Amino acid sequence: MSDRRFLAPDQVQQGETRGLRECAFLRAGPGGARDRQLLVGDRFDVLEVAGESAFGVSGKDGYVGYLPIDALAEYVVPTHWVSALLTHTWPSPSIKREPELFLPMTSRVAVESETDDWCEIVVPGGTGFVPSGHLKELGDWSDSVVAAARAFVGTPYVWAGNEPSGIDCSGLVQVVFHSCGFVCPPDSDLQAGIDGRLLGVNEALQAGDLVFWNGHVAISSGERTLVHANAHHMAVVEEPEEEAVARIAGSETGPITLRLRPDWAALRS
């Protein structure tokens, strides 16, 4: 799909590479509507500066938009990713110190040194210590999209969110795909076009299959249940497939538009 909000790698102009020092919403214009949230350590290629905002391209998915300049710092080439639902940095390897930076799942960090208990890390704009068990090396991905999605159950619904203080339907899909080492675009309409096989109306869903409506997406758990962030519950829930489909069909969203079985081999990053 060709869209101003989304650029394929061969469409991206060379910009100044920066990194996210904190989670920040990518916006349609300076101070405008939220489109998608970028996480600590994400790469952002700045194409131009407009006042206190920088216009550019998200390195992980090609999404274009504006970020606050003060959310950016020198890019740090990552070695690890945050595999816990969330963690923090500490100023020293001690749980009695006050934690500092919030790091949600799939945040990217560079590990400088490691013990059994702690990793000393560098992120754009800072350093700190993170529990070793909360990180994995890049390439050492989670095993299950469904397990990763279930970890977010109870997370509040926030439009354009991508982390455990608030997430939306397509943000959930993107984060859990990334946690398993799969490429994934940021919005549900783009996600409907990923590599995979369209399922027939009577085909049973398997774990990891995606179900799409107009402006909404859910992940099948393979147990006749769906995991999705939704505005009805204002949270991420796992609920019976039949109940969810009937309720959504009776809303403004309407009936299912397609069901997709991702081609996991083709999506491996």
Task: Work out the pLDDT band at 2, boundaries 50, 70, 90.
Answer: very low
Domain-located, residue 69: yes
What one-letter code names the amino acid at 166?
Answer: G
Which one, of 122, 147, 137, 112, lies nearest residue 238 by Cα?
147
* DSSP assignment letter at 140: -
Residues 119 and 150 in one domain: no
Name the phi and psi angles at 242, rounded to 5. -60, -40
**Residues 102, 39: Cα–Cα separation, whole Å:** 10
Percent of the chain with pLDDT over 90: 92
Identify the helix (H) or strand (E) that includes residue 210: strand 210-213
The residues that bridge with 73 in the sheet, in sequence order, are 19
Burial class (CB in 10 A: 0-12, 13-18, 19+), 92: exposed
pLDDT in tens, 33-72: 999 999 999 999 999 998 999 999 999 999 999 999 999 9
Residues 161 and 250 in one domain: yes
Domain limits for position 127: 80-137
Residues 161 and 237 in one domain: yes
How many domains, the chain?
3
3-state secondary structure of 100: coil
The residues that bridge with 43 in the sheet, in sequence order, are 19
Domain-located, residue 3: no
pTM of the model: 0.94
pLDDT (0 to 100) of residue 1: 31
pLDDT (0 to 100) of residue 10: 52
pLDDT in tens, 109-127: 999 999 999 999 999 999 9
Domain-located, residue 127: yes
Residue 135, token pair as written in the block: 């990180």
Residues 163 and 215 in one domain: yes
Which one, of 92, 63, 70, lies nearest residue 3 by Cα?
63
- 75-86 mean pLDDT: 98
**Residues 160, 196: Cα–Cα separation, whole Å:** 24
Using alpha carbons only, what angle is made at residue 205 by residues 203 and 208, rounded to the nearest 5 degrees? Answer: 145
Task: Work out the pLDDT band at 12, boundaries 50, 70, 90.
Answer: very low
**Residues 163, 152: Cα–Cα separation, whole Å:** 9
Among 137, 164, 184, which residue terminates a domain? 137
Residues 253 and 163 in one domain: yes
Residues 67 and 85 in one domain: no
